Amino acid sequence: MTLQAHAETNSNDANSELPKVRILTSEGAIELQLRPDVAPKTVENFLQYARDGFFDGTIYHRVIPGFMIQGGGFSEDMARKQTRPAIRNEASPTLPNLRGTVAMARTNAPDSATSQFFINVANNDFLNAGVRGAGYAVFGKVTSGMGVVDKIAGVKTTRIRGMADVPVTPVIIESVSLVE
């Protein structure tokens, strides 16, 4: 089944299984269970980038131990990738930013998320909707590979082109695909 068919099946059948995605990185595999029932536009946005192969060859460009790992927007040479238009922020108290959840990165503008996402490596309650503003939209959780996430969170980082917390050795997102 294609990502498109799976997403359509999920949105049309409330009893269907939640979509699962595998992120293959240079450090190992991470599996996510997505929550279109709570953040439908965010999940569809993420799946569209995955279907398009957009994430393939991007890196985790912002890694902060005890906080999160962020990727999905820069190539290995730190070039920002061109994205589709930003989406509406679907942050919800129903899905808080707990350890192992995946959420959309954004600027200070609440509705500015495009392709970048992060995986929380700690409970980050201050990122939740209503705590300090609009919050950051959680749209899934890690179901397998949290050890890989923790390994990435522990890599040595530096400053590159004015950006802090960039891994010294690039951590590459090789592919993002649907788990059948």
Q: What is the pTM of this model?
A: 0.90
Q: What would the pLDDT profile of 45-77 be if each residue is shown by its tens digit?
A: 999 999 999 999 999 999 999 999 999 999 999
- CATH number reported for the structural domain that contains residue 119 in this entry: 2.40.100.10
* CB-based contacts of 45, cutoff 8 Å, min separation 6: 84, 87, 104, 113, 114
Q: What is the mean pLDDT of residues 66-95?
A: 96
Q: What would the pLDDT profile of 19-40 be if each residue is shown by its tens digit?
A: 999 999 999 999 999 999 999 9
Residue 130 in contact with residue 171, Cβ under 8 Å?
no
Q: In the prediction, which pLDDT does 14 show?
A: 45
Q: In the prediction, which pLDDT does 6 show?
A: 43
Q: What is the mean pLDDT of residues 1-8?
A: 43
- DSSP of 51-92: HTTTTTTEEEEEEETTTEEEEEEEETT-PBPP-PPPB-----
Q: In the prediction, which pLDDT does 2 show?
A: 42
Domain count, the chain: 1
Q: Dig out the tokens for 48 from the structure.
A: 């569209």
Q: In the prediction, which pLDDT does 180 show?
A: 79
| Chain centroid, CA 69 distance in Å | 9
Q: How confident is the model at residue 16 (pLDDT cuts 50, 70, 90)?
A: low
Q: What is the mean pLDDT of residues 148-158?
A: 98
Containing H/E element for 68?
strand 68-75
- 54 lies in which domain range? 3-178
Share of the chain above pLDDT 90, in %: 88
Q: In the prediction, which pLDDT does 91 show?
A: 97
